[in-house]
Structure 1
Amino acid sequence: QDEQLKIVQEESEVLKQKVQEEIAGYKEQIKQHARTIVALEDSLLEAEQQQKMLEKENITLLEKIEENACAGSVKSAQGAVSVARLFLVNFREELAAAQSVLLAKEAAIARLTKELSETQARMSDMRGELSEKQKAELEWSLVQVKNQERDLNTLREKLSEMSKLVAQKDQELKAAAAELRYELLGAAGLHKKVVLAAAKHPLGRQGSVRFSLGENQMCFEFQEPALDLAELGAKCRGLRHEETIQRQKEGLVELRERIKLLEKMQSSTVMSKAAQSLIVQQTDLPEKRAQKAGLEKEAALLSVGLSLSVQCLGRFPDGCSHVTAHETASLEVLEALDLGERMYLDLICALGRLMNMEELAGMQSVQHLPQEEREKVGQQRRKDFELLYQKISKLKSRLEKKEELLKDYEAQIKELRLNQESLQMCQEEVLKLEDEVYREAEEKALLREALERTQVQLGQEKRLNRVVKQRKV
């Protein structure tokens, strides 16, 4: 397209140069014609003056001849006849010269009229050809510009939708991360206080503590008297925020039902297995740990506090009202993590739809999957990330290229408009030249009429001279 536009521009420039050269030639021809017309007018004036002088002389001669005839003097008549003969010879020579000049002028006028008609035909042909070519080029360029604008508008709309979705998902993820950190900080402080209170009591005197850590699971068992737990719960009440306490009250009913189910269990081993399964469900989100590495330690601390609260509630049902707050906090953490994962999956699906990708792999939840399957899902998600990134980068590069093309087209349109203006100026000049040519043609027609009149007058004078000769004879 750029090459075609360059070729069109070069052709337009060549045509402009040709038109300007022809216009300059026409102007020079017009100047020459004007000079010849002025010279012809001057010669006509001189011829008219000569004719007037000759008419006066003829009249005087006729009067003298009549006087001489009336007087009857032969000598004077012979002298007058000789003078008249000499005058007639001179007059004939002058008439022949004037006729030759008139014939030359008529030939020049005919030649000039032919040249003018040819130039008018050429100018009309040039105008028709230039207008048709220019119209075709303008229509073609306008169609291309409209198509490019449509493509750019669609791409811009897609990019704006993608940017809006990304901004919304980023805000939601930030809000969820802030809530997670807030809840985890409160749970970590509570866990520290519980550990300090447990360290104050010896193991052999009133209870036993068992703490085991694995790669992906954590279990904590603790036994104390009901009085120590009541004191510790009273200390922890003032550390929670009022808003979290209001949220925790809503989950008390559900927690009491779970505690009743746990009380029905007979052996402590069954209770420890249930707590471990609950901890595994809470702490197995590998892709969230990969994105936010700082949350892993806090989730581990939260799982320790949760297992401690579950074991304590199983051993001492009387202190359930003091520990329910910790389990509600852990449930809120789980809900926030589920919400973040759902938002992540929605974001990836929306991006895939916008990019016209097929069904993406790894779109299932990893909350209840084993470690190996989680790693596979993580690898699939990384591949999807790379594909999305490549497609978005390609889209961006295409947009940049199309914007550059649009700028080039706009510049070319400006050049075409300037060319149109210059062509309009040339057309106006051509019209002015045509008007001048028409005026010159009218002047030439008037000159022809004047020449015809002079020819008629010369014919009349010839007749008069013949009559005079006949009378003298």
Structure 2
Amino acid sequence: QDEQLKLTQDEKELLKQKFQEEIMEYKEQIKQHSRTIVELEDRLLEAKQEQKTLEEENVTLLAKIEGSMHRLSKKSLLDLAVVFLVTFRELAAAQKAILSQEAVIAGLTKELAETKAQMSDMKGELSEKQKVELERNLSRVKSQESELSVLRGKLYEMSTLVDKKNKELKAVAEELRYKLLKPESAEGCLKRSSKRDPASNTSAGQHRGTRTNLTFQELALDLAELGAKCRGLRHEETIRRQKEGLAELRERIRLLEKAQAAALASRELEPLVLLKRDLPEKAAQRAGPVREHLLWPLPPGSCSRVREQAWVLLLVYLDLIRALGALMNMKELAGMQSVRHLPQEEREKVGLQRRKDLELLYERVSKLKSRLERKEEMLKDHESSAEQLRLNRVSLHTCREEVARLEDEVHREAEENALLKEALERTREQLNREKRLNRAVKLRQV
């Protein structure tokens, strides 16, 4: 019996320690809730102060509108539209802040209800002293709940004030529009009266200048309405579209940067590729008339201008061939010298040498073209391999994420198994204790 009493006392001590720890945790939670409530009250006071400042600005704005309605200028009207948009946005921000505060308060009340239910479950297992302390904590929680209800009422009043403020601003905007459109009707009446009475034409002429101001005011109001419409979801939609456009533009720039080297090489060698079609056949045909002019000398005093032009064309042709040879890293071509002062036989030799040079140049260009095609194929292969590498990296990243998730699951299962083993050991120890107690009781009875 002494051992049983000791065991029961030890169990009671353990339960007391456990309950005290849980009570300390609940106290800490209550402190945190009270701190959050104080912070929310501070935020509410700040929101009230902002609301007061907004109301004062609204009052001053209304006074300015009423005092200077008949002598508004373009600049003052634009300032008024800007102030209206700014106050409207501030009201929207205040509404969002109130909604977030209400969500926080709802979460806190839910947590308080859960803690209250847990404390009511534990109430039957506590001692008298612990019950008294629990009652005190419950009274504190009730007082905090009452404070929360008061705070909720204040927030509701704040939301109603914000809605009222929004309605007042809309009414002010409508009144402003009505007062701005009202002078146009007065101008129409003045025009009708001017038709009846010619003496009033001078006053009507004075009002014509104000019509431009009124049209500008209408444009400013339309601009204000457009700014009000662009806020919210439409504004977010435009931002999203702009982000998508920027992403697409970046993708295009990346693709253009990849193809830049190949495009530059193809643009540099494009004249050579086009010339290789004309070099074997048409080059000789173009050189034929020049050679005829050179082989058959013109009679003196006839067509000297044509001969000079032919020589100029020949020089241009030779310069073009030299430039192509330099681009192809060829040495000095043999048939590129001038044949103006050579006899006919040497001219024919030079013509044959030029044809050989053209054939050699054509072979070089064809080889360069084939090499360029091979490089383009290699570039395509590299791009396909890079794309495959990117896909492999993506799959590797997903595999790593899956492995990390599986490792977390294994770790979690290991922790659960360890907890289950501890619980099993505790139950075994408790069963062994009960068996020993039963044996001791049986021995005493015998």
Compare CA radii of gyration and give the structure with the larger one.
Answer: 1
Please indicate, yes or no, whether the TM-score normalized by the shorter chain is above 0.5.
no
Relative contact order, CA 8 A, sep 6+: which one is greater? 1
Q: Given the two structures, how large is their TM-score scaled by the length of structure 2?
A: 0.38
